[in-house]
Amino acid sequence: MANDSKTWRCGKYELSFDRPRIMGVLNVTPDSFSDGGEHFDPDAAIEYGLTMLDAGADIIDVGGESTRPGFTPVNPDEEARRVLPVVRALAKEGAIVSIDTRHVAVAKAAVRCGASIVNDVTGFTDPKMVEFVKTSTCGVIVMHAGEVAAPARTHATVQLDTSAAAFVAEKAREAAAEAAREAEKPARRRRGKLLGESKPEAKLPGGVVQPSLPFGEPEPTSEPASEQEAPAAEQATAAETVAPAPEAAPAATEAASEPNDHLAAMMRRSARREEAYVPTSQLRRFTLPDSAPIMRRVMGFLSDQARALIHAGVSRDRICIDPGPGFGKTANEDIVIQRETAKMASLGYPLMCAVSRKRFVGAVSGVTEAAERDAATFGVCLGAIQAGANIVRVHDAAGFAQFLNGYWAVAKPQPRRAFVAVGSNLGHRCDNIRAARDMIAEIPLTCVSNSSKIYESEPAYETRQDAFANAVIEIKTELAPLVLLDELMKIEAELGRDRSKKAKANGPRTIDLDLLWMDGETHGGKKLRLPHPLIGERDFVLVPLEDLMHDPARFFRYNGVEVKEPEDRVGHIVGELGRM
């Protein structure tokens, strides 16, 4: 019930969650971790985005900067050059487009080009990004990005006491520490002889003494001591010096890295920790760390940032939350967070599961190559959906749509109302319409619940042809919209509809079936648009709909469709031909 009641308002679109929504990942980058360079060309990216829509994606998430471990930051101008043509083209086809960016300038430009969602990997910690989204109507995704997401803490300034008493006390402390070190030396020498020690003690930065190991080499550490203790800006500089990022593609190298890029520094450290991992013999009683401190950190940040956005003027129904798998988190922490999905869903915001091909998915499945982790990704996503996740962000949108359709048909009985327009102007027109109605009733998980009368109308668009017979059929179906559309196309083919390239557009046809509207569904792309974008100008659709609902013009205007006045429509009704 909680899932059913959530909605997400994204600009002119409103997404309901009676069914999980699929967000397809579209990386317009040369260096993303699993598909780098495949869609770097804008034309290739647009084509792939449309393909994902036609395969079942509800949202396309367009990103122009990879945030994989060890990524090279991209300046906003280069990022905008990559993503804006793609955003503009997909939005033109009716797609719900999300812009994946941490730069406010890119977010502004993308929304102007038609993006409906801003997906900020730094969780709207930039006041300028908050200032922008509060003046917009776009949906927002608040993501937790590990340590970089935590707001900077301010510490009280400590005034050092330089009086004589303080000086004497400090000298006394130093003398006591020196005496303790001198007392320790004989014992350390005895231990060294027993262990066969042959090398002197190593000193780490900051004067910290690292005892030599039995085999002579200091134990590698995942983080240099100076980096752990330094302020965040100094950490970023140290990370770039100690472990420079892998060489990026030419387009990315044009962008200069910001000296205090906390996200880049954090992801570099994350990459180094994985490469320099040293097994430990420390015993633990449990396979995973305690969830309480992890979830306090993640849920505390997400709820705090969502509340801050609301206080700034962003309405609650525009906010989605994402725990940010893989960002500054270990595999164990990611598993803990995924197991606590129900708790995050209880916050009341739409919840995203963005685990696609992440390192922890490889860790639990044993799959090394990122691009081969889709099956394991689907398994993790299914667990999240069962626990209350509303949106899944995946690379393989087509595969996951099949997976979800199969699961949903069995696990979640859910008949939904839809309207199908039927037309014919070849052969026995009324018989063709009745035959189509009977065949629609035989579609799996579908029934015909009502039908309009059959009307005669003037031909629309291509006027040099015979008049049409038209009707609208109301159905209930449990199929996904694209699956239902495929079934309607099969009926057209069986009844002799010619959809080949040689057929005249809007010309004569034995039967024409258009899916007009489905409860709770908004869709864009070349294959299917919902609601049908031409409902508002077609008299031969709106008049039959009056037999099935009160005031269809008002209904579709509420659903975002522009409805013309009767005199301005095409295909005017000229008479009745009888009942179904």
Domain limits of the chain?
Answer: 2-151+285-410, 415-578
The pLDDT of residue 158 is 45
- What is the band of 146 on the pLDDT scale with cuts at 50, 70, 90? confident
**What is the C-alpha to C-alpha distance for residues 15 and 316, in angstroms, rounded to an integer?**
14
517: pLDDT strictly greater than 60? yes
pTM beyond 0.85, yes or no: no
For the stretch 274-292, pLDDT in tens is 544 444 445 667 899 999 9
- What is the band of 432 on the pLDDT scale with cuts at 50, 70, 90? very high
The angle subtended at Cα 48 by Cα 46 and Cα 54, nearest 5°, is 105
**What is the C-alpha to C-alpha distance for residues 494 and 487, in angstroms, rounded to an integer?**
11
Higher-pLDDT residue of 242, 306: 306
Q: Would you state the structure tokens that stand for residue 255, as one six-digit string?
A: 């962008």
The CATH fold assigned to 2-151+285-410 is: TIM Barrel (3.20.20)
- What is the band of 269 on the pLDDT scale with cuts at 50, 70, 90? low
Question: Averaged over 374-392, what is the pLDDT?
Answer: 97
The values of phi and psi at residue 192, to 5°, are -65, -40
Question: Averaged over 342-357, what is the pLDDT?
Answer: 96
For the stretch 220-256, pLDDT in tens is 333 333 333 333 433 433 333 334 444 333 443 334 4
Same fold, 2-151+285-410 and 415-578: no
Among 107-111, 266-270, 447-451, name the one with the lowest average pLDDT: 266-270
The pLDDT of residue 339 is 97
Share of the chain above pLDDT 70, in %: 74
The CATH fold assigned to 415-578 is: Alpha-Beta Plaits (3.30.70)
Single out the residue of 290, 297, 289 nearest to residue 147, CA to CA.
297
**What is the C-alpha to C-alpha distance for residues 462 and 480, in angstroms, rounded to an integer?**
32
Integer angstrom CA distances of residue 145 from 154, 206, 290: 20, 29, 20
The pLDDT of residue 285 is 76
Higher-pLDDT residue of 557, 174: 557
Question: Averaged over 131-153, what is the pLDDT?
Answer: 82
The pLDDT of residue 40 is 67
- Whether residue 253 contacts residue 245, with contact meaning beta carbons closer than 8 Å, is answered with no
Integer angstrom CA distances of residue 516 from 54, 228, 418, 426, 453: 16, 59, 7, 22, 17
Q: Would you state the structure tokens that stand for residue 103, as one six-digit string?
A: 């730069």
Q: Where are the alpha helices (DSSP H) in 11-75?
A: 42-55
Helix (H, G, I), strand (E, B) or coil at 518: strand
- Whether residue 119 contacts residue 99, with contact meaning beta carbons closer than 8 Å, is answered with yes
Helix (H, G, I), strand (E, B) or coil at 419: strand
- What is the band of 402 on the pLDDT scale with cuts at 50, 70, 90? very high
**What is the C-alpha to C-alpha distance for residues 112 and 462, in angstroms, rounded to an integer?**
35
- The average confidence (pLDDT) of the chain is 82
Q: What is the dihedral of CA 531, 487, 54, 95, to 10 degrees?
A: 10
